[in-house]
């Protein structure tokens, strides 16, 4: 039959031409069947709604119209024949699995990257392209390079394997073309091919068959640009070889051009224009199209939602980004990466996941806020730690429970123990189920294992409580798992990695649509402009680097390989031509079209030029036919308001008459000074003013009058010297840690080597264990007597035992580094006894006790009288206590660190600015525990690490007086609520000196500057005189004394 071709422009003229064709076909019979073949679903919807108004006067509706696409028509025509032969549709998952199977059997040139997911994806895309050409073209591609030869080999093997039991879209199109009979074609009625775009060879073959067997009309759009129209002309002539060429015309241009400082400002300006347009134009007649998905798609949806505007179009978040998908994919990833603690907790943390059922206990919500600190305390990093270290931690909790007396602490320990037990079972079950994926005999079995795991973690009964987007994600996951069943017929074997890859591909490609076409503003990529009929269109992203952007050559099928086929494989340039054609179609789809482009990219600090395809519009609007792209600004003045720009977000917001969102209205009001009272803004302004001022405010840590501050001079509660030292070092750090209980989080996986504090604890615990055991056996060394060789050996064993416990708790870091530090601990312990023997021999001293407790575990605290008669109660424990023959007590504080910070300690400065408060307290505790009121006591620091020796502090009356004065100043500062940030003088190198002043590890310079400004205020002058006496103005200091 003879086919007829009608050339038209896009937009409303195309729809009118279509209506005229359909009216002609139905002129004598309103029920005459018409098959309308459209290039896309959105084009078909627009056509159907236009035709629904009727094609003849007095007929307000239409009947006998079937709208479809060529692939769907091929499925209707050919699928029954193919399925009767036992073949099933080849899904994307099946193609991917088949490609992986080919690579696994014979990887060829892809050997080193055969297991990488990107390799299979790229080869699957190449297979899709090669499916559209014949063997001659494949042979030509293979002859261009060794890489192309292997690509063709993988393609042929994949094609043969799929053809054994499945069919793809190309098979459908070829089968439909080959088997379409005049009788079956007559059932289609008249065929109208509406706005055909670029067609594959298989689709073109079916179109030619339809044109030969049916009464066919082709309504083809042309835009006046020969390169952009080339693919359409080729598609039309593949169906109708004698089709006339499109009439000559000039390519359309936009009516206005708007430019902005960057993409974000461009979107804001466009949304304001949409708000303005909606005052006179229905929302379904407005569209915002974007040339690049990133960053426009998400920005447009966010800003239009903020403006309260209903939208429709492709979604911006694929299912893979939803929490349900992240749960499944995240758990599969943790199995691949060794069940790392952070990965497991992250995967479980976004949804109300429940535990697995176990004997005697039903499923319960996963208490993640409890599990996270338990895993840190237990030292879980990943792998077998979930069993070994949780088991050790559970036993440790049980031992602590047996010794604990307080009910509140027992309740907390019981909760942690039960949570640890539940976590061990959960992780064991999870690992067992995910490991079963590698043992699955079939893909169906693997799918059921993963489906059962998901249903256990998210029971179906709880799905209705999830947000709608998450409910859709769960359903999509189940559908994706169903895609694994057809893989049983392939020569591929299931594995956990393969399941993760296939599921990731399916979920990443699942992009649910937002809204319903025809309700609200259309927000869509530029490629969906073909077939639209609108009143207002805004096209965003028309910068040269975005539209067309950089054209990248196909790495597997390069241009020389495509050229070798005589362009049977089309050039990659066709993608740019399709974008250009879509832009021109968008321009013709509405009466008012605005093209937007950003002048720069603030993310990359670069300038941008308008797209080459926007340049004709700029020339037309400016009246300068030779305007170069690099000098586009000079066309703004002649164009008047047709070319307008936004200087910046702030600049355009000050002048616009149409703010779009509540935020913009509020900012505009604040700029104008007419904003209503806003407590949040007022509080923020107060904070900024206070932190910029020179006064000591509550934002600097001045909490005078706040209820609940401890008064340690009241004699009611005991405080440790270490806590008061921390206040002297940084009051704000004391406030965070001691009062708010905010501690820096140390993740087990970040521990490379054991920290200095834990090393010191091992030494202390080992030495205390030795002294305690010797004391119980009455074998403590007497005056001047050495430790025995058996006791030396026992001390080393105790050190090994404590170190092993720390290792089980995950506190020792990398095993190789810990091996070196463990030997260091043994060396220190052995040297300690040698040094102790010499010291006690010199002083004729005997060992009395270790870890002498005071104020804890039921022991009385140490009382220190302050100058004004008040008392401070101190608690803690003294490391070592010896006694000379004359009864003098020698109390020592064991230090494994360096000696340099203790060198300035003396009778004149016994507290070193409040940073050394332990020895006087220890001396008082030793006298109270092992002497009389007037027993002589000497206190010293005993260095046993890299630095050795002892630093002694004489406990004279002047020293104790200075000690009491220092305690009074510190406890009064706490009670008065003075908690400024006192950052260290020197910058942090290698480690953070004060995590409260430098919480992010980026430095504390600004905090230090603020402290230096505040330290001389009256409220802090006494504290500054203690910690930084040189910082006060000497004149001020003398004035205070007077």
What is the fold, at CATH topology level, of the domain defined by 319-510?
A: PCRA; domain 4 (1.10.486)
Give the pLDDT confidence score for residue 649 in this predicted structure: 87
Q: What angle do helix axes 201-213 and 70-84 make, rounded to 10 degrees?
A: 90
What is the tens place of the pLDDT at every residue in 7-27? Answer: 999 999 999 999 999 999 998
Q: What is the mean pLDDT of the chain?
A: 92
Query: Comparing 917 with 408, which gets the higher pLDDT?
Result: 917
Q: Where are the beta strands (DSSP E) in 385-479?
A: none
Query: Which three-class secondary structure state does DSSP give residue 928?
Result: helix
Report the distance separating Cα 589 and Cα 600, nearest Å.
28
Report the distance separating Cα 416 and Cα 371, nearest Å.
8
Architecture of domain 256-316+518-653: 3-Layer(aba) Sandwich (3.40)
Work out the angle at residue 921's Cα, subtended by the Cα atoms of residues 919 and 923, and round it to the nearest 5 degrees: 70
Those residues whose C-beta lies under 8 Å from the C-beta of residue 663, and which sit 6 or more positions away, are: 306
Cβ pair 846, 883 in contact under 8 A: yes
Give the pLDDT confidence score for residue 1042 in this predicted structure: 40
DSSP H/E element including 883: strand 876-884
Give the pLDDT confidence score for residue 1039 in this predicted structure: 47
Among residues 773, 753, 899, 896, the alpha carbon closest in space to that of 825 is found at 896
Region 932-961: mean pLDDT is: 90
Burial zone of 187 (CB within 10 Å; 0-12 exposed, 13-18 middle, 19+ buried): exposed
What is the tens place of the pLDDT at every residue in 94-115? Answer: 898 899 889 988 999 999 999 8
Cβ pair 540, 266 in contact under 8 A: yes
Report the distance separating Cα 102 and Cα 90, nearest Å.
16
Output phi, psi for 604, to 5 deg: -110, 0
Query: Which three-class secondary structure state does DSSP give residue 418?
Result: helix
What is the tens place of the pLDDT at every residue in 837-863? Answer: 999 999 999 999 999 999 988 899 999
Region 521-542: mean pLDDT is: 96
Among residues 120, 124, 150, 122, the alpha carbon closest in space to that of 138 is found at 150
Among residues 155, 234, 157, the alpha carbon closest in space to that of 201 is found at 234
Report the distance separating Cα 435 and Cα 656, nearest Å.
60
Longest dimension (CA), the chain: 130
Report the distance separating Cα 167 and Cα 481, nearest Å.
20
Report the distance separating Cα 67 and Cα 48, nearest Å.
8
Region 66-91: mean pLDDT is: 93
Work out the angle at residue 679's Cα, subtended by the Cα atoms of residues 673 and 684, and round it to the nearest 5 degrees: 80
Report the distance separating Cα 889 and Cα 847, nearest Å.
10
Q: Where are the beta strands (DSSP E) in 745-875?
A: 845-854, 862-865, 871-874
- Whether pLDDT at 1034 is above 80: no
Report the distance separating Cα 141 and Cα 562, nearest Å.
7
Give the pLDDT confidence score for residue 681 in this predicted structure: 85
Report the distance separating Cα 724 and Cα 728, nearest Å.
6
What is the tens place of the pLDDT at every residue in 963-988? Answer: 999 999 999 999 999 999 999 999 98
Region 367-387: mean pLDDT is: 93
Cβ pair 334, 344 in contact under 8 A: yes
> What is the CA 107 to chain-centroid distance, rounded?
34
Burial zone of 1032 (CB within 10 Å; 0-12 exposed, 13-18 middle, 19+ buried): middle
Task: Annotate 573-636 with three-state secondary structure.
Answer: HHHHHHHHHHHHHHHCCCCEEEEEEECEECCCCEECCECCCCHHHHHHHHCCCCCCHHHHHHHH
Report the distance separating Cα 929 and Cα 475, nearest Å.
71
Q: How confident is the model at residue 673 (pLDDT cuts 50, 70, 90)?
A: confident
Check residue 904 and report its DSSP letter: T
- Whether pLDDT at 717 is above 70: yes
Cβ pair 189, 183 in contact under 8 A: no
Cβ pair 499, 332 in contact under 8 A: yes
DSSP H/E element including 699: none
Identical topology for domains 256-316+518-653 and 708-736+846-977: no
What is the tens place of the pLDDT at every residue in 592-648? Answer: 999 999 999 887 788 999 999 999 999 999 999 999 999 999 888 887 889 999 998
3.40.630.30, 3.40.30.10, 3.40.50.300, 3.20.20.70: which CATH number matches 4-81+173-239? 3.40.50.300
What CA–CA distances, in Å, run from 405 to 409, 411, 858, 860, 1035? Answer: 8, 11, 11, 17, 57
CA atoms within 13 A on the CB side of 614: 30
| CATH class for the region spanning 708-736+846-977 | alpha beta
**Residue ranges of the domains in the chain?**
4-81+173-239, 88-164, 256-316+518-653, 319-510, 708-736+846-977, 746-843
Give the pLDDT confidence score for residue 745 in this predicted structure: 85
What is the tens place of the pLDDT at every residue in 300-339? Answer: 999 999 999 999 999 989 999 999 999 999 999 999 999 9
- Whether pLDDT at 1037 is above 60: no
Question: Does the model's pTM come out above 0.85?
Answer: no
Query: Which three-class secondary structure state does DSSP give residue 217?
Result: strand
Report the distance separating Cα 284 and Cα 276, nearest Å.
15
Region 73-89: mean pLDDT is: 92
Among residues 901, 902, 915, 1029, the alpha carbon closest in space to that of 970 is found at 915
Report the distance separating Cα 908 and Cα 905, nearest Å.
8
Give the pLDDT confidence score for residue 57 in this predicted structure: 79
User: 600 pairs with which residues across the strands?
Assistant: 607
Task: Annotate 66-80 with three-state secondary structure.
Answer: EEECHHHHHHHHHHH
């Amino acid at each position: 039959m003879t086919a007829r071709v009608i050339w038209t422009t896009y937009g409303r003229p195309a729809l009118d031409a279509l209506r005229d064709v359909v009216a002609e076909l139905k002129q004598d019979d309103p029920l005459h069947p018409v098959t309308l073949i459209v290039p896309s679903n959105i084009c078909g919807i627009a056509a159907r709604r236009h035709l629904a108004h009727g094609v003849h006067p007095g007929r307000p509706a239409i009947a006998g119209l079937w709208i479809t696409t060529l692939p769907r028509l091929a499925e209707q025509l050919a699928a029954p024949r193919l399925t009767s032969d036992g073949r099933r549709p080849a899904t994307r998952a099946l193609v991917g699995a088949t490609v992986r199977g080919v690579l696994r059997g014979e990887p060829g040139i892809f050997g080193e990257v055969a297991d990488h997911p990107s390799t299979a994806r790229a080869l699957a895309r190449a297979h899709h392209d090669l499916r559209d050409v014949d063997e001659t073209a494949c042979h030509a591609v293979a002859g261009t390079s060794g890489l192309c030869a292997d690509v063709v080999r993988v393609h042929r093997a994949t094609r043969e394997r799929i053809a054994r039991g499945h069919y793809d879209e190309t098979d459908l199109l070829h089968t439909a073309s080959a088997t379409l009979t005049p009788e079956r074609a007559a059932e289609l009625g008249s065929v109208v091919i509406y706005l055909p775009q670029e067609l594959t060879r298989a689709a073109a073959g079916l179109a030619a068959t339809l044109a030969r067997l049916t009464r066919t009309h082709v309504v083809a759009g042309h835009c006046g640009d020969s390169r952009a129209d080339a693919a359409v002309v080729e598609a039309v002539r593949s169906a109708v070889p004698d089709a006339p060429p499109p009439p000559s015309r000039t390519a359309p241009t936009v009516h206005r051009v708007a430019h902005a400082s960057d993409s974000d400002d461009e979107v804001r300006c466009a949304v304001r224009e949409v708000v303005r347009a909606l005052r006179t134009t229905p929302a379904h007649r407005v569209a915002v199209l974007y040339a690049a998905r990133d960053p426009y798609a998400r920005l447009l949806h966010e800003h239009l939602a903020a403006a309260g505007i209903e939208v429709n179009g492709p979604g911006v978040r694929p299912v893979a980004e939803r929490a349900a998908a992240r749960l499944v994919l995240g758990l599969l990833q943790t199995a691949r990466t060794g069940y790392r603690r952070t990965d497991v907790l992250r995967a479980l943390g976004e949804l109300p996941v429940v535990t697995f059922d176990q004997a005697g206990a039903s499923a319960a919500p996963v208490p993640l806020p409890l599990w996270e600190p338990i895993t840190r305390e237990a030292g879980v990093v990943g792998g077998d730690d979930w069993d070994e270290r949780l088991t050790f931690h559970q036993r440790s909790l049980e031992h602590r429970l047996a010794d604990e007396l307080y009910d509140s602490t027992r309740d907390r320990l019981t909760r942690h123990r039960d949570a640890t037990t539940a976590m061990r079972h959960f992780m064991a079950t999870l690992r067992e189920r995910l490991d079963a994926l590698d043992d699955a005999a079939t893909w169906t079995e693997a799918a059921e294992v993963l489906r059962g795991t998901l249903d256990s973690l998210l029971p179906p009964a709880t799905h209705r409580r999830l947000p709608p987007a998450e409910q859709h994600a769960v359903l999509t996951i189940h559908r994706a798992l169903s895609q694994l069943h057809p893989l049983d017929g392939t020569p591929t074997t299931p594995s956990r990695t393969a399941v993760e890859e296939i599921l990731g591909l399916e979920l990443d490609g699942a992009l649910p649509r937002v809204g319903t076409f025809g309700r609200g503003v259309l927000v869509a990529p530029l490629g969906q402009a073909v077939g639209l009929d609108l009143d207002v269109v805004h096209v965003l992203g028309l910068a040269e680097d975005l539209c067309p952007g950089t054209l990248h050559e196909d790495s597997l099928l390069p241009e020389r390989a495509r050229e070798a086929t005589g362009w049977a494989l089309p050039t990659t340039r066709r993608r740019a031509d399709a974008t250009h054609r879509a832009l021109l179609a968008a321009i013709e789809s509405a009466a008012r079209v605005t093209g937007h482009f950003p002048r720069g990219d603030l993310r990359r600090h670069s300038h941008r030029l308008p797209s080459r395809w926007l340049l004709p519009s700029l020339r037309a609007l400016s009246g300068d036919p030779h305007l170069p792209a690099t000098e586009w600004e000079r066309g703004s003045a002649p164009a008047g308001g047709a070319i307008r720009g936004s200087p910046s977000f702030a600049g355009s917001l000050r002048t616009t008459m149409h703010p779009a969102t509540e935020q913009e209205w509020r900012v505009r009001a604040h700029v104008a000074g007419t904003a209503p009272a806003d407590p949040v803004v007022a509080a923020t302004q107060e904070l900024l003013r206070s932190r910029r001022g020179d006064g000591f405010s509550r934002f600097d840590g001045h909490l005078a009058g706040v209820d609940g501050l401890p008064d340690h001079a009241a004699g009611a509660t005991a405080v440790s010297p270490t806590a008061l030292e921390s206040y002297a070092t940084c009051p704000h750090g004391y406030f965070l840690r001691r009062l708010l209980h905010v501690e820096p989080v140390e993740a087990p996986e970040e521990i490379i080597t054991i920290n200095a504090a834990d090393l010191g604890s091992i030494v202390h615990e080992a030495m205390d264990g030795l002294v305690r055991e010797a004391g119980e056996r009455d074998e403590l060394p007497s005056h001047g007597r050495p430790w025995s060789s058996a006791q030396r050996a026992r001390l080393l064993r105790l050190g090994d035992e404590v170190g092993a416990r720390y290792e089980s708790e995950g506190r020792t870091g990398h095993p190789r580094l810990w091996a070196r530090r463990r030997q260091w601990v043994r060396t220190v312990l052995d040297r300690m006894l040698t040094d102790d023997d010499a010291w006690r021999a010199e002083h004729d001293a005997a060992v009395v006790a270790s870890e002498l407790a005071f104020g804890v575990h039921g022991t009385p605290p140490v009382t220190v009288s302050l100058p004004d008669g008040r008392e401070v109660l101190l608690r803690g424990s003294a490391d070592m206590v010896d006694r000379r023959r004359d009864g003098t007590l020698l109390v020592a504080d064991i230090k494994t660190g360096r000696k340099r910070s203790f060198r300035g300690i003396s009778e004149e400065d016994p507290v070193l600015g409040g940073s050394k408060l332990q020895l006087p307290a220890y001396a008082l505790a030793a006298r109270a525990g092992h002497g009389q009121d007037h027993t002589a006591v000497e206190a010293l620091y005993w260095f046993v690490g890299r630095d050795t020796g002892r630093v002694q502090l004489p406990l004279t009356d002047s020293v104790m007086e200075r000690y009491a004065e220092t305690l009074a100043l510190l406890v009064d500062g706490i009670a008065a609520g003075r908690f400024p940030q006192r950052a260290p003088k020197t910058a942090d190198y290698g480690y953070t000196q004060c995590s409260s002043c430098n919480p992010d590890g980026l430095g504390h310079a600004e905090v230090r500057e603020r402290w230096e400004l505040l330290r001389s205020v009256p409220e802090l002058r006494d504290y500054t005189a203690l910690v930084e006496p040189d910082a006060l103005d000497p004149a001020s200091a003398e004035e205070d004394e007077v």
